[in-house]
Chains A and B, each alone.
Chain A
Amino acid sequence: MRPEDAFAHRGIALPPLPRRSLRLWSVRHAKWLASVYRGFETGLRALDPLFRRIGYDRLERPVAGVERVVKQALFDCRMCGQCVLSATGLSCPMNCPKGLRNGPCGGVRANGNCEVHPEMPCVWVQAYAGAERMGTVATMGQARTPIDHRKAGKSSWLQAARQHAAS
């Protein structure tokens, strides 16, 4: 675990990462990236029987490791372990210095940048733009329950596969 990851899920303000331009690129390309992910998730669910044979616990570390690298590159993912990217226009809400998962705070600047980091675009302004591209603005009206801090660092991909198993 990188030192900053240990704090990310607690909403501690970190200076924006230098790769943030890629994060913004992902939001600009939210539409097709989201459809790629939907295909990927279908694949994950199909693999559930195999995952169960290997054992989800045994898979946790390697899969979470791959997930961390991929999602960190694309979204500056903080591995909160309860991914909501598909409902936030592919803009990761854990990059909000206040860790807000239900929408923007009242401090967003007139230019659409963050109250805490004036040089960083507000993740929720980005989220709205991404959701418009994905056509998922309607789902942004659903309230999210508070984050479960125990899930930090766990793989959301395996959870998606597992949920299929439970249903």
Chain B
Amino acid sequence: MLHPDDIGPTPWAPLRPLPGHVSRGRLERVLRRGEFAVTAEINPPDSADPDEIEHRIKPFEGWVDAINATDGSGAHCHMSSVAVSALLIRMGYSPVTQIACRDHNRIAIQGNVLGAAALGVANILCLTGDGVQAGDHPEAKPVFDLDSISLLDTIRVMRDEKRFLSGRKITSPPLVFVGAAENPFAPPYEFRPIRLGKKIAAGAQFIQTQYCYDVPLFAKFMQRVRDLGLHEKCFILVGVGPLASAKAAKFIRANVPGVHIPDAVIARIEGAKNQRAEGKRLCVEIIQQVRDIAGVSGIHLMAYKQEESISEIVHASGVLAGRMPWRRDLVQMTQAVETQGAA
């Protein structure tokens, strides 16, 4: 059943403030209660039709605690993250708005943070962003005025010190739970935990990692993270996702920046009769393995073009342990019970 703290007066209104919480969103509550969180990623449409969001969100309903609205992922142009987030909030979902430094300078970013918070965004993920060479507009000007760390610091200053980078005052600060990404699977490996520490010092409260297909390498990273005590200062959500086929895995490895897929993983999928099913099975196994690593607070499920398999994967992994994340009909049911009780 839904936790009483997670039910607001209306599905789209901010929840009542809780002590020790910076935001009024559901994701922070789930994590602070110590529940194993599940987040996922919606692929924003190449369309101005809001019904597309309504349609795309269906497979997520009741299985995830928050949904990342990507910001021009892979440097491809799509509906903006703030707009997708606002549409999701209208329907009652908890989005994680993403901000990539590639496309905006510090003036635009700070304006967007205020606007997003005003529209009800409770979570923001700070990213450097893929280079423009990876996308459909390689001739575009890469901005990169801030990097992910100075972006984290900027939002923390706006929220906690109620001012812009320039020092000008903000009358009502953006109450957002701030996150960052980390890639434990890219060199320089020894520097990655140090970089995570920098991100936490700059203001990161939760982390969503790049796709994990190499559990031993991730366990090594987490060992170092625990040695530095970083797992106690932020919530770490491990990036996972099903591989559709060995061919798709090879394509991702060669073309998506920062994704590391060991040969053994590709060989295993290649050898399977039903590669798609094997990809899902592997994803479930990885979820169960990383769940048992100390310092892991949840998973971030990126099922690109396989969104329909989210329920199956989350269910099979058993990570929700009987818990049911927010669903529209669940809230309607709760309200119906309450009105009946009152009558």
Contact = CB atoms under 8 A, between A and B. Distances in A.
A103 B199 CA distance: 10
Interface string A107-148: 111101001100000101100110000000100111111110
B307 interface: no
A153 interface: no
Contacts of A142: 198
Nearest to B134: A115
A13 B191 contact: no
Nearest to A106: B183
A128 B188 CA distance: 7
B231 interface: no
Given A99-B144, A102-B198, A115-B257, 5 more contacts: A13-B132, A107-B257, A115-B130, A129-B188, A146-B150
B131 A100 contact: no
CB-CB nearest 8 A-B residue pairs: A106-B183, A107-B257, A102-B149, A11-B144, A106-B258, A128-B188, A116-B131, A108-B186
7 contacts: A102-B147, A102-B148, A102-B195, A103-B198, A105-B148, A122-B188, A146-B165
Contact of A107 (B142, B186, B201): B186
A104 interface: yes
Contact of A98 (B141, B144, B182, B201): B144
A20 interface: no
B258 A115 contact: yes
B150 A143 contact: yes
A97 interface: yes
Interface residues on B, range: 35 or more
Nearest to A141: B194
A106 B198 contact: no
Given A100-B147, A125-B187, A128-B191, A106 B181 contact: yes
A38 B115 CA distance: 47
Nearest to B202: A143
**SS of A interface (majority):** loop
Nearest to A102: B149
B201 A143 contact: yes
B128 A105 contact: yes
Interface string A5-33: 00000011100000000000000000000
B180 to A, nearest CB: 10
Nearest to A116: B131
B193 to A, nearest CB: 10
B293 to A, nearest CB: 20
Contact of B153 (A11, A98, A104, A143): A143
A98 B142 contact: yes
A162 interface: no
B324 interface: no
Contacts of B106: 146
Interface string B279-295: 00000000000000000
Interface string A77-105: 00000000000000000000111111111
Given A13-B131, A115-B257, A140-B194, A146 B188 contact: no
A144 B147 CA distance: 10
